[in-house]
Amino acid sequence: MTAEKLAPAAPQTPQDRMKEIVALCKRRGFIFGASDIYGGINGFWDYGPLGVELKNNLRDLWWKSMVLTPPIGPDGEPVEIVGLDSAIIQNPKVWVASGHVGGFSDPMVDCKETKLRYRADHIMVYPVPEVLEDQEPHLAFVSGTAPEDIHKRMDKYWGKINGQTSKEYYSLENPLSLEKIVLTEYTKILGPDAKKPGSLTEPRAFNLLFETKIGAVASDDNIAYLRGETAQGIFINFKNVVDSSRVRVPFGIAQVGKAFRNEVNPRNFIFRSREFEQMEMEWFCDPNDKKITPQMWFDFWKVQRQKFWEALGLSGDNILMREHGQDELVFYSKGTFDIEYKFPFTDPGFGELEGIAYRTDYDLTQHQEHSKVKMEYIDPMDPKNKFIPHVIEPAAGLTRGVLALLCEAYTVDPSRPSGVYLNFHPAIAPKKAAILPLTAKDQHPVLATKLYLELREEFAVDLDIKQNIGKRYARQDEIGTPFCFTIDDQTVADGTVTVRERNTMAQERIPMDKVAEYLRTKIKRVI
Ligand code: GAP
């Protein structure tokens, strides 16, 4: 079979590209819709054999970069960060103190016609052209709708103007956000999925915390919440960590784990889900320190976090740092930056991957007030210096990071049988190498199994014996395995194997007893 016959056509649009990534994730066992066999459940995902390896690799590299080998600080000293794994369900007072019970809400808009619910800030409205006004509705869309779908709907409702289609007479550059539109105008807006205008309700607050009940009695007194972020588990353990270990301010506490938000519009694959994982670190520092001020730590962590994602292969044009405007900042924050990634569904725009926030002493002060436990830290070098530490918080999405890595790695190459390959950095790749006996007979599988047993002690490797070699290479390309080692007759004769490099498909022979060393140098430390 020729390569041309097997290779799919190159994706034409970012939307097609995204569809192909989702299909590959399912086909090759990275990510499945949760409860697939029961028709699924919106906003929840299962990570398959390769997805869990990929996610664990990202988690482990983050943990290494934070807890095991954290960076050297602005003063030339290694910084100190310790780990934590707090409970998902805590005393509900935690979420009252943090403000999540009262305020962790998005303004929501309901559609009276379709019964669908949307986040108000996700609805964009394209005003009807002036010549048609009063005869036709303004059209509302959920942000992220493909331009061709927008134009299709415009043509349906507004029709041609002076013989031109909407693509010719209407620029999609500046939609209005729904929040900027006065309520009296709502009657003229046609909701994203509605057939008649005027079906959208006024925006209303909707709390995102998932509720559950603790114990056998299902009364309102037993309400508890699944954590909406991992960060609060860190704040409420600040004193425990200081009192039980030798850490001294400035230091950090890091945590990776599940978080739950009853998102109204879970979408874009795993980008916005209702159950997801976060990697958060709270950096506690002295607000009175004149040598390294909190602002300097803030700048430091911004640089470190961007370096982290870049080291994993998120490339220059696809990643940026965006400062929040004053109107986006919560009142206690002295600044927030988002590291954003150009996902196919945000293209040409960007979507948040990680937020780095200077949160002042807000969280610890809130917990001090609500719990009545003092959160003050006493400087051991100067007992007169008592303070509630200021916090810099780099908060990243683990599952969202997995999506960014998948999108970045997805590379179309019609010249190879698979038509695509995943260009993962070897440190991130779920499988570091595949061992492929050329045939399933003679000494080939015996030697391949020997090499596999040796390598698996140190690396995540695949032994794949069946099918023709081209199909096996194709499978490894699609799952992003950086190296394939082939065992053939020459291996039996002289003890060498073929190494095939994923991206270049170049092949060379190396001694079988040097394979482990070869892999070790190729998968060298990235962080
Ligand atoms: N403690 C601060 C905090 O939780 P956030 O910006 O709400 O901040 C941090 O969340 C990161 O968690 C985001 O940058 C994003 O990567 C990830 N995240 C947030 N909501 C998510 C969701 N519904 N699905 C997947 N990831 C999400």
pLDDT tens-place string over residues 82-104: 999 999 999 999 999 998 997 77
Outline which parts of the chain fall under CATH 3.40.50.800. Answer: 417-522
Residue nearest ligand 1's atom 25 by CA: 272
Closest ligand 1 atom, CA of 355?
14
**Among 502, 527, 505, 475, CA closest to 313:** 527
* Gap from CA of 448 to ligand 1 centroid (Å): 44
* Gap from CA of 250 to ligand 1 centroid (Å): 25
* Gap from CA of 183 to ligand 1 centroid (Å): 30
pLDDT digits (tens, 9 = 90+) for 425-445: 999 999 999 999 999 988 999
**Are the CB atoms for 281 and 393 separated by under 8 Å?**
yes
Can you give the pLDDT at residue 159?
Answer: 92
**Among 493, 476, 499, 341, CA closest to 417:** 476
Can you give the pLDDT at residue 9?
Answer: 57
What's the rounded Cα separation, in Å, for the pair 308 and 70?
A: 11
* Gap from CA of 278 to ligand 1 centroid (Å): 7
* Gap from CA of 52 to ligand 1 centroid (Å): 19
The residue ranges of the chain whose pLDDT is under 50 are: 1-6
Answer whether CATH 3.30.930.10 is correct for domain 14-103+211-408.
Answer: yes
Ligand 1: does its nearest atom lie under 6 Å from the Cβ of 230?
A: no
Those residues whose C-beta lies under 8 Å from the C-beta of residue 107, and which sit 6 or more positions away, are 119, 120, 121, 179, 203, 204, 205, 206
**Are the CB atoms for 86 and 141 separated by under 8 Å?**
no
Ligand 1: does its nearest atom lie under 6 Å from the Cβ of 194?
A: no
What's the rounded Cα separation, in Å, for the pair 360 and 388?
A: 9
**Among 457, 406, 517, CA closest to 57:** 406
Can you give the pLDDT at residue 371?
Answer: 98
What's the rounded Cα separation, in Å, for the pair 78 and 73?
A: 6
Outline which parts of the chain fall under CATH 3.30.930.10. Answer: 14-103+211-408
Closest ligand 1 atom, CA of 353?
16
Ligand 1: does its nearest atom lie under 6 Å from the Cβ of 399?
A: yes
Can you give the pLDDT at residue 55?
Answer: 98
At 468, list the tokens.
């023709």
Those residues whose C-beta lies under 8 Å from the C-beta of residue 303, and which sit 6 or more positions away, are none
Mean of the per-residue pLDDT values for the chain? 93
Cα three-residue angle 447-453-455, rounded to 5 degrees: 100
Closest ligand 1 atom, CA of 231?
1
Q: Classify 417-522 by CATH class.
A: alpha beta
At 493, list the tokens.
């004769």
* Gap from CA of 151 to ligand 1 centroid (Å): 32
**Are the CB atoms for 141 and 127 separated by under 8 Å?**
no
Residue nearest ligand 1's atom 23 by CA: 272
Residue nearest ligand 1's atom 7 by CA: 229
* Gap from CA of 397 to ligand 1 centroid (Å): 5
What's the rounded Cα separation, in Å, for the pair 345 and 307?
A: 24
Ligand 1: does its nearest atom lie under 6 Å from the Cβ of 229?
A: yes
At 12, list the tokens.
């034409």
Closest ligand 1 atom, CA of 229?
4
Cα–chain-centroid distance for residue 244? 33
Ligand 1: does its nearest atom lie under 6 Å from the Cβ of 261?
A: yes
Ligand 1: does its nearest atom lie under 6 Å from the Cβ of 305?
A: no
